Every structure is written in C-alpha cells, then in structure tokens.
Amino acid sequence: MASKTKLVLFISILSAFSFAWKSDTGNDDKTISFRTFKNADIGVRTKPGSATLINDELEIVAGGADIWGKHDEFHFSYLKLKGDFDISVQIKNLSAANKYTKAGLMARTSLSDSSQHVFFQVFPDNSPRNKNNGGCEFQYRSEIAAEMKAIYPDLKTAGNQFDVTFPNTWVRLKREGDVFESFFSNDAKNWKLYTSFTINMPRELFVGLAVTAHNPDDFTKSRFAVIRLKK
C-alpha cells in the first residue's frame, strides 16, 4: 500500500511539473500580431512610408537615405519592450532600391533620428559589399549622434551560412542585460549566432522592424511574417 501511495504521489508531482513547464513555455514564447505595432517614419527628410497588413503578414514600404552615419532615415514598425527579450521574424522579400537597401530587427532608445541603437539587418541579395560577402550585417550606434559602426561576417569562415534565401530568411535579436545577440536562420529551427555585442542601453527600448531604401528618391518594399517574442 505504501509503495502504491508513493507511486501515485510521484506521478502527481511529475504531472504538476509538466503542466508548469508547458504553461511557462506558452507564456514566454508566442507569436505576436503585427496589429500591436506602431509605425513611424524616422528622419526629417524621409519620404513617408507605410505598413499594411496582408493576410496576417506586414508589408512595409519605406524611403530614406540610409541607417548609417550620425542620422537615420527609415520606416519603423515597433513595440516598446522592457527588460530582456528574444524576438524573431521571417523576412519574405526585400526589393532593391539600392545595393545597400536594408531590412531587419532594431532596438533603439528613442524615435530620434540620431538615437543609440542596435540593428541586425539583411540586404536584398548576397552580392559582395564593403567587408561583407553575405546577405546580412550587425550595425550599431554606441551613443546619441555618434557615427554608426558595423560587425561584418568573417570572410575566412562565414562561407554561405549568412546568405539570404527569400522567402526562407529569418532574423532574431536577443537581449540579456547589456548583451545583444543576433541570429540568422533559413528554416526558423536551426539558428546560427552572428554576433554577441555588449552595449549599455536603457531598460525600456523601442523594438521592431526597420526598413530603409538607402535611396532618398525611391522606395523599397519588404514583407514580414511569423514574428515571435519571448519575454
């Protein structure tokens, strides 16, 4: 009788543990709706862009000269997030208004065009670019109105593992304290770490999708799908 009681108790504890684990996972990792995002054109000279919901996907049309230098010009669809986060999104396409047209995940301290930020972004294709032989790049502005800098793939070891293959292209940005990690994937299952970067930023940030034409006289168009957030 004692053995049977212990067995029942063990099963009860195991069931409770399994339920708690499933509940925590469900609360922490979830698909979020693009309807919850706000939109803004960043930069005083940026041509007005747009963000349109199409069958639960978000299509962003963006102008802007670039996200680079001391001031940015782009369209931003964003949420305000506090503390640590892990956000990922599928980028289904990106039209080329320029060789350096960009789209990706950004976390910035404000909506000012000179804001401190980190940005993990893709290009329209895998053509060779300055210090870059792949389709993506990690960029950042360390202080307000400072010159932006980039972390490039290692030309000796990166190979083709960071090549864009639209629509099978996913990017991910993770924050733990002051450490920001960027990941790249072609299937949303196998993630490759692109970089781990430490920067002191406020607890609350504007986090979301940034798109720039890299051409002040033209627009680019990018389609986003399946955005997931862990908190």
The residue-averaged pLDDT of 5-13 equals 34
Q: What pLDDT shows up at residue 8?
A: 34
**Which of 15-29, 126-140, 145-159 has the weakest average pLDDT?**
15-29
Same domain for 7 and 102, yes or no, is: no
Same domain for 112 and 13, yes or no, is: no
**Overall domain count for the chain:** 2
Same domain for 57 and 112, yes or no, is: yes
Q: What pLDDT shows up at residue 23?
A: 29
How would residue 7 be classed by pLDDT, with cut points 50, 70 and 90? very low
The residue-averaged pLDDT of 59-83 equals 98
Q: Which domain holds residue 25?
A: 1-30
The residue-averaged pLDDT of 137-160 equals 90
Same domain for 177 and 80, yes or no, is: yes
**Which of 12-16, 44-48, 176-180 has the weakest average pLDDT?**
12-16
pTM of the full structure: 0.87
Give the distance, in angstroms, between the CA of residue 6 and the centroid of all CA atoms in the same chain: 49
Same domain for 21 and 111, yes or no, is: no
Same domain for 13 and 61, yes or no, is: no
CA distance 217 to 195: 33
Same domain for 160 and 99, yes or no, is: yes
Same domain for 12 and 99, yes or no, is: no
Same domain for 86 and 197, yes or no, is: yes
